[in-house]
Structure 1
Amino acid sequence: MIDERFVLDLDAFGPDGNRITPKQYSRLLGRARWLDSRGHLLIEAVYTPEQAALEDVDYYVDYLLTNHREGLLAFCFREEPSDEDVREALLNSFAAVREIADGASDLSSWRAKYFFSTSSYERRVTESSGILGGGDLQTIYRGLTRVPSTSRRCYGAIGPRIIDLLEQDGLDAEEEALIRGCAYTTAVVHANFYVAQKLAFEQRSGVLEDAVHVRLDDDWQAGGIWRAERVEDADHYSLKTLPATLPLGLGYSETAGVAAADVELAVAAPELGASQLSFTGYLTKRDRALGRLQLTPEAAAALAPGDVDVRLVHDSNRDGMSVERDGNHLYGIEWPWSCHPGIVLRCNIESGMSVVKVRTEPAVPPIRIDGAELRFQTNEAVYRHEMGLEELTAAEKRSAPSLTELIHCAFRTGGRDRDGARELTLSELASIVLGPAWRPGDTRSIAEALAAMGLERDGAAYVWRARVTRRTRVADRSLLEAYGEARPGRRLARIVHRHSVPMHLRRLRGKHKRPHPDKVRTYGDARRQYGMHGVLIEELPPGYTWVEPHERGGAGEELTMSQLDAAFDGDEEESAEEIDASVRDQNALVDP
């Protein structure tokens, strides 16, 4: 779980892309309830280890396939495409856009991801005395290269440094405008590009003159995090041979320890010698689809710059291939069909640290998992996860409470009172729902459920109100069950919870007390068809009709407002005398 700052681009879809007026937007920022005063959305974001390892484009493609798959790029295919076909088409389309941008004469880019006007950047740098001009950018750069005397290394985030620099003497209107909305993104990209340019000149030997090595450590969080380290022996410092803008994620490894590499499905092993480094990984479905090999941070740092080759030894195959390197990943590997998810990959970096040898090992006897026979060493936990074997049966899913129901229960039983409402933070909810041993990655599903529930936010706290009004979406099954749970005997619980209703008789009320002739004519056949012969009386009595068996409740049933009102209106509840009379009537209609 990390704190993230999202920038809203109101003009992303053109001047008519949204209906908000400038006055409404200013009022929204003034309230600082959903957006802060700069038009940014600050949230606690949760990513699974697999999602955190994705590049921005891959993550967006995954989002599109998960949430907007139907009809996606349908005009590109004559027949219904598979998910992999759509994924490839999306990646190719984004690559085409990037290629067009790369060829534009007045565009520069930060890591070929964020494109900006070259002329606007040069004007900013030239105006050395301007706000966030060349002088301020130089101040930010020098701050990133300084390591405290009491430390060997330190880290600096671009985004917070820009804001801190401008807030030193208070923000005036001009300074505020430079970090409001999309202007903040431009400032972050310009600052990173400036630092990279300065390092390309001042750190040509791999180390600055004052024996400090500076490199990009994370290009995602806080607008980009840079790492500065004191170098004791510059001649034998391995990181100086790597591009300074290649993020290695060393800060994460240093704080989480070697065991944290397991979330990347790769486990580091100690160096075997001066020319070899060993690590173990486990293949995933996504690795197969992308032709990818995941490296540990230590392995990525040890690889020599330039071309990288992979030698795959699997079964009877001995394949060599040239691959592309992107951060902690190698792309362009053609995995054989028998390299199934979860297979153990024994990897060595050798031959001058420019060759990665990957081998699999046979399993003797073969491994059997849920009827499948696997001929190679396999991590069973990874295999089960990738193949979806951890899922509950349909019956278990129906009988188990949903996550939304557990969240409602957590607010009711453990929430702090707040003027008739209840409030909890995401961490507090996780402790109640998951127990005290939860890990940061475990809270993503809770965060998604909270977002779907549309609860109000007050800082880090979510505010929950136990009420249903005429503006409430009555088709929201989870919300209705939150109330049906408290009074299981009330009609709402019977409406919401899915259950089977057998054929039965219903008393006719009001003006229409005579059954329809078709109901009278088909009553005998219906008794036999639905197994009620000998249960219900032989002839349909006056003032009654019969109802076919059916199912009630569940996510697919829409409730009318009158049903909802009746369920919650205490005056509509049957009294004990009315219930007893109803039971006597039903008993009288049973065939003795």
Structure 2
Amino acid sequence: MTLGLAAVGPGEAEPLGRYLSALVAARGCPVHIAVAFNAVFLGYDVGAGGYVGGPIELGDFPSVSLGDATTALPVGAMVNVRTGAEAFPAEVVYKEGAHPLVDTANWGELPAWVSGAPGNAAGPGEVTTGEPPVLRERLVIDTDAFGHGLSASPAQLQRMRRKGRWVDPDGHVLLNACYDSQTAADLSDIDFYARFMSTTGRTLLLSPLAPAPFPTLLAPGTGHEQLESALKGVLRTLRDILRSRNDLRMHGDYAVTRRSYAARLADDGPLGRTVLEHLAVNVARSAVPRARRGAVPRPTAHHTAVGPALRALHGTEGLFMGLAYPTVVSHANLLITDYVRSESDEETGLLDNGVYLRLDDAWQSGGVWRAEWPGEARTSGGPNEPGGRGWRDTLPQDPSAPAVQPDAHELAAADEQTHAEVAPPWLPDDSDLGAVEGLTVANSQIDWTQPLRLRHILDSVLPLPPAVAEGLKGTEWSGRQVRLELDHAGHPLPPGDSILMTSLETDGDRSRLHDVDWPLEFVPGMLLTLSWVRGGGAVRARTTLLNTPVLIDGEEIRHRFDPRVRTRDTAPGNTWAKDHGAPDLTPKARVLRAVRIMGLLDNFGRALFPAERLTEAIARTSPGQTPLPELAETTHAMLAAGDLTEEWGSQEPSGKVHHPVIAGQPKIRLLCYTPRRADMPSRTPPGPAQPEGRHPTVGHRVHGHLRRIGHLDHQPSIEAREAYRRDRELWGLIGSLDIPPGYTYVLEHRRGS
């Protein structure tokens, strides 16, 4: 999971996805990615409704004494809340900014510069330096997360609300959050959580009482930076799994069930569909100037904070108590997003009244939406991707500065054009294959990741992000050769293959390095991590080894790869030889080629294609070859052998195909190609021969862990006690030197080998 969703595989991701869906339904409020990690790592019992029954030591949680000023806490923080002599465990499940300049009494109006402002912002375009930032924040904590016996009593909560100094009448924590640096204040929720858990909350990750202490999942002696990086990787994987679930909707990093959202839309109460749709329309209209006789309307931009706007609605008093507030905030943002998508022009992104409406700040006061009139045609990104225009428009503009946040689709590499120039609507949109991901722009260096495509190898090119291309053209290297330095992890390249002299080539709005003679070790689908130092004339590209090599359809893969690209670019009949030659294919290979090249792709590299259109697809992907007279028999044999499987999808009236099925659309049968994936078997001496008809199994590692035996009236053995102490020292765990009462220690072993 540290390497991303592609490294997990559908066999493990699917049951984890089902658990996460059940978790979101059980929590009764939006589940943040960090909270999802807590649930997976510490074992949230969706049946019992909490972290109950597991060997969690609540004393390991950081202790916080909430007041006017408190050390900043991330979403997902597990803490012991102290109020005088009382203390109770709680989990932070929601967090937002509560800037004092947001008008809570007037529909959430706020100065434009507050929207998207950094932590040290002091005014329009003004920042403070020296002192660490202190931000006003609203936290929603779940005091029932650890079982009702440990939660705060109603009397305690009522007392906290009555004092009202740092808890508002809805039971939400209002505080001045003290950050230790400007960098920490500007981190995303996920990155701040990862930093918090690898420092302040480190005892929880290192506790031997956790079902699988986090360091035991990594190499012995892993340092602070590696621990934080690995945690970020797991969080990104959980985010991708949550986004892939058909029964969930995502607002930013929060997941809600479609059932709860549908119930909101079916509600006719003060926070139901009609009221929220009226709110969305008013937010869009807020930027339209009033017509005045003889006056020329001026361009306007209006910012509205969702949280205060909801509180300003009539008849909503008492409807935001506790966990209800983040739920209605997420639903409102989803409804506004759906409103923009349904009512705006697909080409320009503008509403009928000429307004450009987009989310501008996802963190401040439940989300800040920016309505701009007259809107400029902009289609990059979705309506719920925060732009931070309110703050950025107050900064001095530097026309020579390269773009910081290019649209990922602008970076999409040229895909294999295996179908007609004007494709029918049921063909998939592969514009995101080969796109740049994780682009970061620092003061001195730009880093990004992108997969190597078959087209790149055949055409000897490397696409570049606009920021890099503009930077190269604006330096003294314009018109000169650019050095491409290749580093192939685990396989040193000879000097002639590791340093390539290339030229910068621009074609329309795309730029690329030309004359790239890719080494034979670089194959389609391989993920490249690239960097360019500003002002320099060299681009560096490197591959990354997988922790464990895998077998994909019998081929050994040792480096990180994009399974979607591999499905497309290594389909039968493709080649990365320079002659572009394609041999005659068997009927089975022609069917696989059609499904893999023209099917819908998911994150695991599965390709799904409508069975009724297979004949046309084969004709498109294998031109010049004779038709298959026995296509039905060939397909039936492939289904029986497991080369293909059947799935159900749905189809729009226009012919566009979807998977999974979308409710209300006609169902359609899909043929599914799934890459056959397995971990490489351990290199151990061969054992006894397998019985006839049995296949050798590939074992997997089971980490050392505690197992409860107290209910059996058993005691741990001397060997278990010694192994526990030995592993505790090896992995740098904390806590008691002896096994906790009621438990024994199970040594690390392999299962299924």
User: What's the TM-score once normalised by structure 2's chain length?
Assistant: 0.35
User: What's the TM-score once normalised by structure 1's chain length?
Assistant: 0.44
Q: Which structure has the larger Rg?
A: 1
RCO higher in 1 or 2 (8 Å CA, sep ≥ 6)?
Answer: 2
Higher helix share: 1
